[in-house]
Amino acid sequence: MNANTAEYLLELRVPARADRMVVVRDTVRSAARFCGFDERTAQDIVLAVGEACQNVILHAYEGRGGGPILLDILDDADRMILRVTDFGPAVAPTAVQPRALHDLRPGGLGTYFIHALMDSADFGRSPTGVGNVLQMTKKKDPAI
Amino acid sequence: MNANTAEYLLELRVPARADRMVVVRDTVRSAARFCGFDERTAQDIVLAVGEACQNVILHAYEGRGGGPILLDILDDADRMILRVTDFGPAVAPTAVQPRALHDLRPGGLGTYFIHALMDSADFGRSPTGVGNVLQMTKKKDPAI
Amino acid sequence: MTESIREVRGHLVVALGGDIDLDRAPTVRRQLLDCVNRQQDVLVDLSAVTYIDSSGIASLVEALQRATGRGTGLRLVAVSPQALRVFELARLDKVFSIHSDIDAALAATD
Amino acid sequence: MTESIREVRGHLVVALGGDIDLDRAPTVRRQLLDCVNRQQDVLVDLSAVTYIDSSGIASLVEALQRATGRGTGLRLVAVSPQALRVFELARLDKVFSIHSDIDAALAATD
Ligand SMILES: Nc1ncnc2c1ncn2[C@@H]1O[C@H](COP(=O)(O)OP(=O)(O)O)[C@@H](O)[C@H]1O
Ligand SMILES: Nc1ncnc2c1ncn2[C@@H]1O[C@H](COP(=O)(O)OP(=O)(O)O)[C@@H](O)[C@H]1O
């Protein structure tokens, strides 16, 4: 994970409300460009973070709003690291799995997208003991 | 100031480094659009925050980098509130004044721009006692 | 970003634009289902879509299911590159009929 | 965003673009002063500038002062709306000679 050599790019805290997510997306797009990704890959990273935030709104806070979303972005030599933290009740990582694609069933796509778009995605408890963290990484050179 | 009725839009923490400011600007532009400002006014707000961050980099941390910049944005009914906090040594608010415009002297423009672009700009100690805060507001309807 | 609806040769053409995210998906869903309920073929123009996520996709899938159940059609036209990327990721680009423009979609149905 | 320099009828034309902020101002400053030191008139094309702040403005003011001191000219051409706004704020729009395009700037000097 090389988190030791990674440089902190930003920490963003926003209320977990659907109407605010456009600001999160714009920040992530800007950070992805800063890390050197092209527009298409930046858009993929934006979608992955958008899905992660959507899960926090719908599942961690069950649409109640109010709770915060914390987004940490680190710029490592060979990859970008993004962590989405919620302060909802503890969730077993096994509960957060991409479902099989059912062609005509709405829903269940979020975690699938995250895994398809990123090089890694790990769900777990926050190191501070409060909240759940989804850590995602995206390699700068897909060949590595 | 109506800070009581204002809704928290975001809190952003970044290292006070000149190369990172593009990400701060993109976030502020997005937040200004969210608050309903047109592109031209959004750009004015971006410039004011850019100048405030430049002052933190140059003066609060004297170009040493490392220290963080904290940006809080609140969305109030009639205005947007932006607070730029540094964790440098205490500065007397009277030391932060717009200089008179000297046509051909470089420098000294930052605080002048901030006051010209925003409806209010107040420099003071952070309420927590650590760091300096520049609080700026921009009215949504200039007629009010 | 407001949606627009017009009629072209007996088909309803719904143009969606902007970011179709969790915030806007409920409105888009309601609008698409209303169109489908009018028992006409629906063409959804996605040329101005700048962002669509799983919640937006879910609204379109639900409208397609409803149309199929009623024996009418729902086709996508002029899908923006951003949106197409997401349909491909979800492997839905073969589930929906996708046409380059409205004329091509009309030719396929007439 | 890289800068480009070319020569047009004995004038150096420097095209600046992108965001001219604290990060890029030192490079822009060095480049402008190098041009001025060549003892030719300098035209600075600001059409592609998306952002300029007090540090970028300071680099241009310093280059203008240097040019004036050496008896050569430094003119701004095709200033983008974003940049013009900042020059106006600083009341520098009357200090610099600003021209709509390179031809107009050349006509003013020839
Ligand atoms: N931050 C979270 N907190 C609690 N549960 C979560 C979180 N993220 C994901 N989940 C769980 O993972 C499941 C799969 O999520 P997803 O693939 O996005 O599909 P959907 O959101 O449509 O159910 C969710 O149904 C939920 O139970
Ligand atoms: N965050 C800050 N910390 C310490 N000093 C500051 C800060 N912001 C502004 N100042 C002081 O205010 C002065 C005026 O700033 P400004 O108008 O931007 O001009 P300049 O940065 O060119 O000196 C600075 O020279 C500095 O002494």
Half-sphere exposure of A62 (CA within 13 A, CB side): 3
Nearest to D70 by CA among D37, D110, D34: D37
Q: Would you kindly state where each structural domain of chain C is located, as residue ranges? A: 3-104
The one-letter code for the residue type at A74 is: L
| Closest partner CB to B9 (pick from A23, A31, A34) | A23
Count of other CB atoms within 10 angstroms of residue A121: 22
- Chain-chain contact of B12 with A27 (C-beta, under 8 angstroms): yes
Q: Would you kindly state where each structural domain of chain B is located, as residue ranges? A: 3-139
The ligand whose atoms approach the alpha carbon of A55 most closely is 1
Return the bridge partners of B5, or none. none
Q: What is the CATH number of domain A3-139?
A: 3.30.565.10
Coil/strand/helix, residue C47: strand
Alpha carbons D15 and D81: distance in angstroms, whole number = 16
Which residues lie below 8 Å from residue A128, measured CB to CB, with a gap of 6+?
Answer: none
Distance from the Cα of residue B58 to its chain's centroid: 14
Coil/strand/helix, residue B53: helix
Residue A65 has pLDDT above 80, yes or no: no
Assigned token pair, B90:
């205490």
**D61 phi and psi, to 5 degrees?**
-65, -40
Please, which pLDDT band fits residue C39 given cuts at 50, 70 and 90?
very high
What's the pTM? 0.93
How far does chain C reach from its first CA to its final CA, in angstroms? 31
Quick one: angle between helices A39-55 and C81-89, nearest 10? Answer: 60
For residue B47, list chain D residues with Cβ-Cβ distance below 8 A: 51, 53, 86
Residue A144 has pLDDT above 60, yes or no: no
- pLDDT tens track for C70-84: 999 999 999 999 999
- Chain-chain contact of B21 with D22 (C-beta, under 8 angstroms): yes
What is the interface pTM, i.e. ipTM, of the complex? 0.93
Which of these CATH numbers, 3.30.565.10, 3.10.20.600, 3.30.750.24, 3.40.50.970, describes C3-104? 3.30.750.24
Return the bridge partners of B123, or none. B134
- pLDDT tens track for D39-83: 999 999 999 999 999 999 999 999 999 999 999 999 999 999 999
The H-or-E segment that residue C21 falls in is none
Residue A64 has pLDDT above 80, yes or no: no
* Residue-level pLDDT, tens digit, chain B, 144 residues: 444 678 999 999 999 999 999 999 999 999 999 999 999 999 999 999 999 999 999 999 986 666 999 999 999 999 999 999 999 888 887 777 776 655 445 457 999 999 999 999 999 988 887 889 999 999 998 775
Give DSSP secondary structure letters for C24-36. THHHHHHHHHHHH
Nearest to C17 by CA among C7, C38, C31: C31
Nearest to C38 by CA among C62, C72, C6, C65: C72
Please, which pLDDT band fits residue A105 given cuts at 50, 70 and 90?
low
Average pLDDT, rounded, for chain D: 95
**Rounded average pLDDT over D91-110:** 92
Alpha carbons D8 and C33: distance in angstroms, whole number = 62
